[in-house]
Chain A
Amino acid sequence: AQKVTQAQTEISVVEKEDVTLDCVYETRDTTYYLFWYKQPPSGELVFLIRRNSFDEQNEISGRYSWNFQKSTSSFNFTITASQVVDSAVYFCALDQVRQAGTALIFGKGTTLSVSS
């Protein structure tokens, strides 16, 4: 069975602190995709990154960076120099490569609160 675990339910930091959100996944597939989404208070899920299982290169986008380690089945997300606008719920998700279509499996989410 496939599963995504985000062990951190809530994290509180002060602005400018770095913060890492953990994501551990389980799958028997050799080919799969991992995603991170952000959900601000408005409710809409905002896409952040998509990574396939064959690409273990870390990625950096501005203040955001992602560390994918297949050996530990983890896909962690780091925000550098956090800002109040980063306050949101962050979801890690997994999808297998199937014959057609998609069906994301989400973790429970991590609520990040950044105070000024």
Chain B
Amino acid sequence: KAGVTQTPRYLIKTRGQQVTLSCSPISGHRSVSWYQQTPGQGLQFLFEYFSETQRNKGNFPGRFSGRQFSNSRSEMNVSTLELGDSALYLCASSLESSGADTQYFGPGTRLTVL
């Protein structure tokens, strides 16, 4: 079974621009979560989507947004990019069940903001 895929793998943007990252979950997985990884803050939860609805949200400004499509694919958008947004953005997918599902991660998108 194919794993979680993320596109693009690398991205370079300048301050003030916006960016959209894409994630395709493992087939049959209905939940998609996004995490930001930086050297200073480590891995931080951004948000989680299930059935096109955001179920959980981390402590990030409104510049960070996401959505999920009917096929469970997800996108996240960052508007008005800042230098501090440079990070590895990881997407994870999981089955829907009660309790905390195991999340399986993709290879990430490395965003550099200049």
Contact = CB atoms under 8 A, between A and B. Distances in A.
A104 interface: yes
Interface in B44-97: 44-45, 48, 50, 55-56, 58, 88, 90, 92, 94
A43 interface: yes
| Highest count of chain B CB atoms <10 Å: which of A98, A102, A104 | A102
Interface string A62-96: 00000000000000000000000000000101011
Contacts, number: 69
10 smallest beta-carbon distances between A and B, as pairs: A101-B55, A45-B105, A106-B43, A95-B100, A33-B100, A44-B107, A103-B45, A103-B56, A101-B56, A43-B108
Interface residues of B, number: 28
Interface residues of A, number: 29
Contacts of B43: 91, 93, 104, 106, 109
A56 to B, nearest CB: 17
A11 interface: no
A106 B55 CA distance: 19
Given A50-B102, A97-B100, A103 B108 contact: no
